[in-house]
Amino acid sequence: MARQKESAASTQLTKEFLSTVALAFPNHNGDQPAGDGLLLFKIGDANGRISISALCQLFGLPNETAHDFKENSKRKQAAFADWTHFANEPFLPSRSKVSRITHPAIRYVHRLISTTFQCKQEANKVTTDEFYILTTPFIKHEYKANLGLLLAKTLINVRNLAQDLEGNKKLCVRFGRLITAIVQHVGIDIPNYEPLPKPIPLDLHALQQSTS
């Protein structure tokens, strides 16, 4: 599970990162290990890049080779059945309620997963990806996905989400501290942006303006 990073957040830094972030594989080969991927971004006039392997190391995530969670029908049914150890009921994607998880520590871990890998403010239901991340310690190696790559895809998806906004006034994200940690890790000097005194959700409508 990701370690907490004590990094200040800045609204402007977060906007610049999310409006320029992209993912690339050097050899343009879909069969490359997930850790070979590069997360690209720009802060001010500086271009930054971090490999998915380095991203995993930065946040204490296992550096698996698979790009996503692999499934087959038997494995899927067996994994979903394992949900009974958490909630005393079968798992139903995007329908199983977080409140049904019996142990408060597991509910807390799910919320952490939901707010980082899925960038959700409210975590009422459990998605399939959230379920697989939560059960990663208990599944076989060949079925595990690279969580650093999933995090990278989430960061990119936020920009797409902002561009597709219509009338959702409540849509916002909050992971500026993660972005600050990434920027500092690659050695880019952070401009003299005013840090936020406390975590504040980023209004995606503001990000939409910076990507148009």
Among 143, 170, 198, the domain boundary falls at: 143
Question: What is the reported pLDDT for 186?
Answer: 93
79 plus 137 within the same structural domain: yes
Q: Is residue 57 part of a domain?
A: yes
Rounded Cα gap, residues 126 and 130, in angstroms: 6
Crossing angle between the packed helical segments 52-59 and 147-163, to the nearest 10 degrees: 100
Q: What is the pLDDT of residue 2?
A: 39
In terms of residue numbers, what domain contains 185? 11-65+158-211
Residues 84, 136: one domain? yes
Return averaged pLDDT per consecutive 10 residues of the chain, 212 residues in all.
Answer: 46 83 82 90 92 94 83 67 79 82 86 78 79 75 81 83 53 71 89 60 47 41
Q: 148 with 68: CB under 8 angstroms?
A: no
CA 137 – CA 201 distance, rounded (Å): 30
* In contact, 15 and 202? CB cutoff 8 Å: yes
Residue 198: per-residue pLDDT: 55
The answer to whether residue 151 sits within a structural domain is no
Both 103 and 136 in a single domain?
yes
State both tokens at 98: 């977080």
Q: Would you state the pLDDT for residue 207?
A: 43
Q: Residue 101 has which token pair?
A: 């998880």
| Domain-located, residue 152 | no
Half-sphere exposure of 77 (CA within 13 A, CB side): 2
Supply the Cα-derived Rg of the chain in whole angstroms. 18
Is residue 113 in a domain? yes
pLDDT at 66: 84
Instruction: Report the pLDDT value the prediction gives residue 67, as an integer from 0 to 100.
Output: 85
Do 96 and 139 lie in one domain? The reply is yes
Same domain for 179 and 125:
no
Q: Is the pTM of this model over 0.75?
A: no
For residues 157 and 163, what is the distance between their CA atoms, to the nearest angstrom? 10
Distance CA 47, CA 36 (A): 18
Tally of domains within the chain? 2
Residue 150, in any domain of the structure: no
Q: Say if 26 falls within a structural domain.
A: yes
For residue 4, being part of any structural domain is answered with: no
Q: Are residues 169 and 123 in the same domain?
A: no
pLDDT, residue 211, reads 41
